[in-house]
Amino acid sequence: MATVVYLLGALVTLACAILLSRGYERSRKRLLLWSSLCFAGLTLSNFLVFADLVLFPGVDLYPARLGTALVAMSLLLFGLIWER
């Protein structure tokens, strides 16, 4: 059951990233670009959660998971400040 939850979380963030990038392509609002980049990074982080806990349980991917989430959220924060 946990495997399904990890995959669904990754798929939802991937869907958000795709929808935000499509919105950026139509409107060229830069905040949509920063948001789509953030969700793309969060997608990678969620797939790393799946890989860490399901695919490679003996390998510690915790620092990589946190690092990708930090970069993703930093992109969104930068975009929010830049578009002020």
Give 59's DSSP letter: S
Q: Give buried/exposed letters for 23-46 (b at 16+ CB in 10 A, else e).
A: bbeeeeeebbbbbbbbbbbbbbbb
What's the domain range around 33? 2-82
- Taking the model in full, what pTM does it have? 0.91
pLDDT in tens, 1-49: 989 999 999 999 999 999 999 999 999 999 999 999 999 999 999 999 9
Cα–Cα distance for residue pair 60/21, rounded to 1 Å: 31
- How many distinct structural domains can be found in the chain? 1
Cα–Cα distance for residue pair 10/73, rounded to 1 Å: 16
Q: Which H or E run includes 17?
A: helix 2-27
In the block, which residue shows the tokens 């495997």?
Answer: 3
